[in-house]
Structure formats: structure tokens, C-alpha cells
Amino acid sequence: MNFFFIGLLCLLSVEMAFSQQIHGDTLNLKHNTASNNWSFAAEVYYYILPNEKNTTTMIGYADYKAFHSEVRYNYEDLQTVSVFGGYRFNTGQNFTIEVTPIIGLAAGNTDGFITGLLLNLTWKKFDFYSESEYVMNFEGNENNYFYTWSELGITPFNNFRTGISANRTRLIHSNLDFQRGIFIQYTFRKLTAGFHYFNPLTSESYGIITVGYEF
């Protein structure tokens, strides 16, 4: 349980300084404008695992208009790099829908071809974000794997977002197929910080400190 309180203290220290929220996923890139067709961002996820070695996942984003690209490390597997490209479709005003099909390749401890989908729904103060992918492992079909990260959030204040989340990943060795938890986030200008607490009050619990920055 110590890691939970350490994570909360880290986040609270950030909250005292933060005063603006980006609505959407853990780090929701601002949409491109005519005067700025490019947008860039980076995220770091620090996994605090009670019975395993702590690990770090890093993700970099680059968007040009509706074209989307990503580079990930330690996402599909430890010591694995993956690259993605896709195209964003969006519609709606009061209720917005944003869908980005992506394809990619992974190399490292896991080698494979990846197809995926990024989904972002927003309505008033509520949002749903999901990133899912299916890895077709080059070593054989028996090693194929489905990954997902989903968040159902609410933004009650301009600078604060909270909600519930679920994920399925190979980074966590657990008896649970899907990890379930809660999260809180704060954003200040281009910096977003948050804390996820998965499988609360169980022997399978762990925390993730997240930090994202837009360039």
C-alpha cells in the first residue's frame, strides 16, 4: 500500500501548481490549426509494482493535420519498440467522436505486425478514451495478443479530471486478465500529470504515475 500513498503525494504536489485541464485521454493532443499543421507530444508511464521490478513506458506522438504517428517503448512488452501510423476521423459538436485506425510494427522481446484503433468520445464534462491493438506475433499465432487501455472520465473542474480505467497488458504479471482501477489527473498549460491505481485493495494492486507534455 505504500506505493499508493507515495503516488498520491507526488500527484498532490503537482496539483498545487496546476490550473488548466486538457479534456480527453491521458494526454489529449490539441487539434491542428491552419497556422500550425504539426503537433508533438510525449508521455511517460512509471509502473510501481509491489512484487516486481518497477518499469517505465515511453510514448512519443507526432501529428500532421489528420495524420497520426507514434513511437512506443516498453508498451507491448519489455525492451520492445513499436512504431505506428494512422489517420484521424472526427465528427460532432456537442457530442464528438474521434476515431483513428492505426497499423504498426513491434521489434524486441516481441516482434510482430500490429493493427489498432484509438477512440475518443466526449459529451459535456464526460469522455471515454480507448486505445486497443492486436499483435500478430512473427513467432507464431499462439503468441498473438490483444492489448487495450480504456478510460471513462469526468472533468468537474477546468483543471481536474478523474474516472475509472481498465487495461490488458503483458507488462503486468497478474491472475487478472483485465486490470481495473481509478485515476486522477491535473494539467497546467502543456504539462499533464496523473496517477492510476489498479485493482484497489487487493493483492494484485499497483500504481502508475503518468506525465505528458505537448511541444
- The series of mean pLDDT values per 10 residues for the chain, 215 residues long, is 40 36 44 68 96 94 97 96 98 96 97 98 97 96 94 96 95 87 96 97 94 95
- Looking at residue 157, what is its pLDDT? 93
- Looking at residue 27, what is its pLDDT? 55
Q: What distance in Å separates the CA atoms of residue 35 and residue 38, rounded to the nearest whole number?
A: 9
- Looking at residue 172, what is its pLDDT? 86
- Looking at residue 26, what is its pLDDT? 55
DSSP 33: B
- Looking at residue 18, what is its pLDDT? 34
Closest CA to 198 of 173, 174, 175, 181: 181
Asked if 105 and 72 count as a contact pair (C-beta separation under 8 A), the reply is: no
Q: Backbone phi, then psi, for 11, in 5-degree steps?
A: -70, -40
- Looking at residue 214, what is its pLDDT? 95
Provide the residue type at 202 as one letter: T
Residue 74 lies in domain: 2-214
Compute CA 188 distance to the chain's CA centroid, rounded to the nearest angstrom: 18
- Where are the strands (E) in the chain, listed by range? 38-48, 55-64, 67-73, 80-87, 89-91, 95-108, 112-123, 126-137, 145-157, 160-168, 179-188, 191-198, 206-214
Closest CA to 160 of 208, 194, 197: 194
Q: What distance in Å separates the CA atoms of residue 197 and residue 181, rounded to the nearest whole number?
A: 5
- Looking at residue 22, what is its pLDDT? 34
Q: Structurally, how many domains does the chain consist of?
A: 1
123 CB-near residues (< 8 Å, 6+ apart)? 94, 95, 96
Taking residue 196's Cβ as centre, other Cβ atoms within 10 Å add up to 25
Domain containing 113 — which CATH number? 2.40.160.40
What would the grid cell of residue 151 be?
A: 478510460
Q: What is the pLDDT of residues 44-76, one digit of tens each?
A: 999 999 888 999 999 999 999 999 999 999 999
Half-sphere exposure of 49 (CA within 13 A, CB side): 13
